[in-house]
């Protein structure tokens, strides 16, 4: 997999630790020393994201755009975040280290948002293990839950992603950069 922006003119944002980077035409930039079009894109996305604006009110002003970029576009994959100046709207999973404990879960980190709800932290763990090819019994053992609980999570995940099979879940995970 070649990351977007490495060999094309698309823009890929990604995070490493608490830093935000972008790649375009094979050049890596670190926030806030990115081209103006990258900063402007992030600002426009933030300005049009009411949920993120509400959740970031307690964030120091100088950190708002960086944190938004990390939460919204932190993962790195082959699908560009910006193509021909437009957002591709494919959110990417970034393991920020506070999944399941973040009070803003699903508001800034859009990869967990579906048409039918937000994938919970426990459901996210199940999605990752399904994408890794694990069976219900193996998932139950790894997460220290019953197989019935795993089955219930699968039903809820399938409803949220509007899928019917484990393959649909794995595809969802791949498209969102979760697995």
Q: What local confidence, expressed as pLDDT, does residue 90 receive?
A: 61
Angle of the 121-131 helix axis to the 166-175 helix axis, nearest 10 = 100
Band (57; pLDDT cuts 50, 70, 90):
confident
Per mean pLDDT, which range of 106-110, 136-140, 168-172 is the poorest?
Answer: 106-110
Q: What is the pTM of this model?
A: 0.66
Q: Are 38 and 24 in contact (CB under 8 A)?
A: yes
The H or E element spanning position 27 is strand 27-30
Residues 64, 59: Cα–Cα separation, whole Å: 6
Q: What average pLDDT score do residues 153-164 get?
A: 94
91 and 110 Cβ atoms separated by less than 8 Å:
yes
Write phi, then psi, for 67 (nearest 5 degrees): -65, -40
12 bridge partner residues:
23
Characterize 85-113 residue by residue with b for buried, 16 or more Cβ atoms within 10 angstroms of its Cβ, and e for exposed.
eebeebbbbbebeebeebebbbbbbbbbb
**Residue 105 pLDDT exceeds 80:** no
- The CATH label, of 3.40.50.2300, 1.10.287.130, 3.90.25.10, 1.10.10.10, for the domain at 115-175 is 1.10.10.10
- CATH 1.10.10.10 domain residues, the chain: 115-175
102-113-83 Cα angle (round to 5): 110
pLDDT digits (tens, 9 = 90+) for 12-30: 999 988 899 999 999 999 9
The dihedral region occupied by 54, where left means phi > 0, alpha psi between -120 and 50, and beta the remainder, is: alpha
CB 26 within 8 A of CB 19: no
Q: How many residues does the chain have?
A: 179
pLDDT tens figures, 131-155:
999 999 999 999 999 999 999 999 9
pLDDT tens digits, 70-102: 888 887 777 788 888 888 866 666 777 776 677
Q: Is the pLDDT of residue 3 over 80?
A: no
Question: Which one has a higher pLDDT value, 108 or 24?
Answer: 24
**Nearest CA to 24 among 14, 10, 34, 13?**
10
Q: What is the mean pLDDT of residues 167-178?
A: 86
Output 18 or 52, whichever has higher pLDDT.
18
Q: Which pair of structure tokens corresponds to residue 112? A: 């967990």
Answer whether 25's CB lies under 8 Å from 5's CB: yes
């Amino acid at each position: 997999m070649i990351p977007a922006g490495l060999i094309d003119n698309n823009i890929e944002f990604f995070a490493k630790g608490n830093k935000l980077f972008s790649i375009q035409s094979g050049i890596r930039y670190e926030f806030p020393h990115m081209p103006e079009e990258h900063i402007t894109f992030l600002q426009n996305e933030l300005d049009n994201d009411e949920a993120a604006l509400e959740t970031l009110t307690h964030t120091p002003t100088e950190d708002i755009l960086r944190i938004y970029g990390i939460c919204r576009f932190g993962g790195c994959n082959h699908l560009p975040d910006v193509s021909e100046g437009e957002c591709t709207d494919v959110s990417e999973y970034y393991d920020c280290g506070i999944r399941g404990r973040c009070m803003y879960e699903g508001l800034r980190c859009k990869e967990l948002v579906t048409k039918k709800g937000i994938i919970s932290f426990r459901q996210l763990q199940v999605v990752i293990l399904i994408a890794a090819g694990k069976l219900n019994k193996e998932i139950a053992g790894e997460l220290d839950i019953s197989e019935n609980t795993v089955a219930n999570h699968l039903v809820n995940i399938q409803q949220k992603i509007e899928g019917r099979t484990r393959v649909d879940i794995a595809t969802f995970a791949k498209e969102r950069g979760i697995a």
